[in-house]
Structure 1
Amino acid sequence: MTIPSAGSPFGRALCAMITPLDASGALDLDGAQKLAAHLVDEGCDGLVLSGTTGESPTTRDDEKSVLIRAVRDAVGGRATIVAGVGTADTEHTVRLAREAGQAGADGLLVVAPYYSKPPQDAVEAHFREIADRGGLPVMLYDIPGRTGTRIEPETMMRLADHERIVAVKDCAYDLLGSAKVIAATGLAYYAGCEEWILPLYAVGGAGFVSTVANVAPRQLRSLLDAYDAGDTVRARAVHHQVLPLVERMMADGLPGTVTAKAVLTELGLPAGPVRKPLRPADPERVRGLMAAYDAAVGG
């Protein structure tokens, strides 16, 4: 595997990959391998499996491990694999972390413990124990809108001293807080919300972990490439071009899992149904999604 730079420990352009299912709702491992290879061919240098977009709440532990093995076989060393292992239970998370490593993952995506709303000292202890016992580098996942618990910037700064805690998937919508942590630590910050890819990259972010990258990986990768080449005008133009697709997929009332699978299905790529309680997009929504997709990738 090509070793990512210290500033981008898992690569720069990471797709939060959907989990393809067959018509019966079972894992479609052939489809997962085909989609993973396609995403890497289109510019992704990392894949996040079993995150929110990968339907982690409704996939079983054994399915998560089988998925990692299948995708590793498909992409080999062409991309890093980061496994979503976060749960509300520290021991369960540690067990998933170890199983992910055995299956071939390169790193762990660990969300803040949800629902129980632990205080910051408990949040910190949770992450330290997983980093101590999980055996792989950790990407913290800060998404208080879903978990109900923020990983406060001060907590991030303390956690940065752990050798295995190396990155953050940032969905906190707090550019000031994120910029402070980036300036004060070596943590690699990945934008988890597509509208923040360019702003966060401009203040020292490492790249993105994106749901929209399931359907527009080349466009999002080109934004980073343009910025790295010093062509900030081009980077801004790409940012503006993809925003309507981002809005349709991520901020129009349906979860990103649903919208990503809808677009992938229309494109003839592996996707399949979503698991309940999620429901598929209706035909009118699909038409709107495809119009936004055509505008984003055709300009």
Structure 2
Amino acid sequence: MYVSALLKPTDEECAAQAADWAAKGATKVKLAAGKGVEADLATFDAVAAAAPAMKIAVDAHRAYRIGEAVELGQELGRRGALFFEAPLVPEDVAGHQELAARITTPVAVGEAMRNRYEFADWLGRRALRLAQPDVARTGITEAMSIVDIASAYHVPVVCHHSVGLGVSLAAGIHVSAAGADTPYFEYQPDPSPSRRPSCAPRSRQARPASGCPPGRASASRSTPTWSPPSRRRADTVPDTPTGLIPILATPFTAGGELDPASLRSLVESQLSAGADGPAVFGMAGEGFALTTAERAKILREVRTVAGPGVPVIAGVNGTSTVTALEQAHAAATGGADQVMVLPPFLAKPGPGQVVEFFAEVADKAGVPVMIQNAPSVTGVPIDVAAVSALAGVGGITSIKVEAPPTPAKVAAVRGTGLTVLGGQNAQALIEEYDNGAVGTMPACEFTDLLRGILDDLAAGRRAEARAAFTRMLPLIHLGVRPGQAWAVHKEVLRRRGIIGSAAVRLPARPLEPVTAKALDEVLDELALPSWRGGPR
């Protein structure tokens, strides 16, 4: 739920109103904007300063033309805005399409639309990233059809609620509660305090999201932690997550200890950038350098910040069936929706043993299994015959292909029935998708850039996708440099304000002068935006 809207005449009064809502447990608010780019940003900054944990959406009330909307949207992206509602006049579909492609803040549209056909046109043109039907205007049946269509485009629905009768509020809550991807709801404050719902997070027993879900309340209050909108509800997280699933780096302090504040900031930044779900304990995340206790703490933090509706994948790198199952059970208990499993790699198994290993892990893990085929890391190849055999094993749903050349290997296994995702830091992203991949699992320092490329591909803008991808390649290649990859990932995250330190653990090495010089040049050319959130 988010509180709508802060309507006080001055920035100081809006800030005080936001602080008051934060004290009552609210984690999200919406600003009434459209006063001009500088004035809107000044109000945003005043509210953010008064309520630092609050996630802030902006409703421009159709006040801007495309140039101003792009300028404001880009600044809101740097500040981590929840969404940018009604930026342009409602009939300008092409303008919204251009805006959605040029900013990272989700463009939210829909209160002026009345049926599924209008929404289908906008969704097909990628002109919105958050659908906002007003159930009082569409009716419940039509709203549910809109939710289903939006789900097919992986676009969340946040029902709009104008100031109106309680029956319209109830209708919107029912649609939000029943929808497959309806992470929160607009709440118009009721002057009667006794009728205000609590926005305090639920207890850990239900895998809490950071905000109050639609139509739900908690009996207890605690300090809320804000997070970007969940992309799926807990009861509809798929057995096989697809799309953009970054491997989270593991932030350490300068002294080498786990840094929970930076980890929370990292998860928030990934979801805000458009990730379909995070993965932990992968190679890019220094999973090899973590203790059992640290793995449990990391998964707990990620699950809490991501909320129950976002799929979380946990890496498993055991050196035997027994140790792999131990890690898989811990992941399942900690809230992972799937495990990504490497084959044993110290005592290297033969082809028949590889099949036996994965079959036993899938049978006993208690959570769906993704095969991670990374022979350059493990020295254990998994050939097409083994993949085909494993595709018939219950509990194995997908494969991450990291055996070069990945496009050819993706093509070779796409007919096995397993869901295929690419790896290798997205070095061959477009070719992998051309050959049957339906997801990618790269490092996490450029998720916002990859989101734009994948959206362009989905919309048929291949030339734009290829141009943006080519521009990224130098950074992608530095992120797989032997011995330096982990330092590169973290240095980029540090410079973008997402984590506090670029420290790594042995056997990873700190950034060396040659790599540091190359990285400086690449980052100067890319001019990546900073993340407003940051560790806290």
Give yes or no for contact 2:338–2:369 (8 Å, CA) kept in 1.
yes
Equivalent residue in structure 2 for 1:277, among 507, 511, 527: 507
Deviations 1:96-151 (A, max 9, x none): 10111111111101012113221111011111111111111111111101101111
Deviations 1:228-275 (A, max 9, x none): 111211221122111111122223x43421210122222222144111
CA distance in 2, matches of 1:50, 1:248: 20
CA distance in 2, matches of 1:79, 1:286: 35
Structure 2 length-normalised TM:
0.52
- Are residues 56 and 121 of structure 1, via their aligned partners in 2, closer, same or farther at CA, if it must alter by over 3 Å? same
CA distance in 2, matches of 1:218, 1:83: 22
Number of equivalences: 293
Shift of 1:290: 3.3
Shift of 1:297: 5.4
Paired position in structure 2 for 1:38: 269
Give yes or no for contact 1:153–1:178 (8 Å, CA) kept in 2.
no
Give yes or no for contact 2:410–2:436 (8 Å, CA) kept in 1.
no
In the alignment, structure 1 segments of 5+ residues that lack a partner are none
Give yes or no for contact 2:484–2:509 (8 Å, CA) kept in 1.
no
Structure 1 length-normalised TM:
0.92
Write out aligned runs for 1:37-56 (5 A): 37-56=268-287
- Are residues 80 and 5 of structure 1, via their aligned partners in 2, closer, same or farther at CA, if it must alter by over 3 Å? closer
CA distance in 2, matches of 1:102, 1:58: 21
Give yes or no for contact 1:262–1:280 (8 Å, CA) kept in 2.
no
Paired position in structure 1 for 2:470: 240
CA distance in 2, matches of 1:89, 1:260: 29
2:407 corresponds to 1:178: no
Write out aligned runs for 1:2-13 (5 A): 2=233, 3=236, 9-13=240-244
Shift of 1:283: 4.6
2:490 corresponds to 1:261: yes
Q: CA RMSD in A?
A: 1.9
Write out aligned runs for 1:149-160 (5 A): 149-160=380-391
2:422 corresponds to 1:215: no
Give yes or no for contact 1:65–1:103 (8 Å, CA) kept in 2.
yes
2:296 corresponds to 1:65: yes
Paired position in structure 2 for 1:101: 332
Paired position in structure 2 for 1:111: 342
Higher helix content, 1 or 2: 1
Give yes or no for contact 1:263–1:286 (8 Å, CA) kept in 2.
no
Paired position in structure 2 for 1:143: 374
CA distance in 1, matches of 2:431, 2:470: 12
In the alignment, structure 2 segments of 5+ residues that lack a partner are 1-231, 530-536
CA distance in 2, matches of 1:185, 1:106: 22
Write out aligned runs for 1:19-30 (5 A): 19-30=250-261
Percent identity at matched positions? 28
CA distance in 2, matches of 1:4, 1:233: 33
CA distance in 1, matches of 2:440, 2:480: 15
Shift of 1:86: 2.1
CA distance in 2, matches of 1:177, 1:260: 26
CA distance in 2, matches of 1:203, 1:102: 35
Paired position in structure 2 for 1:201: 433
CA distance in 2, matches of 1:285, 1:177: 30
Q: Secondary structure at the match of 2:400?
A: strand
- Are residues 50 and 291 of structure 1, via their aligned partners in 2, closer, same or farther at CA, if it must alter by over 3 Å? same
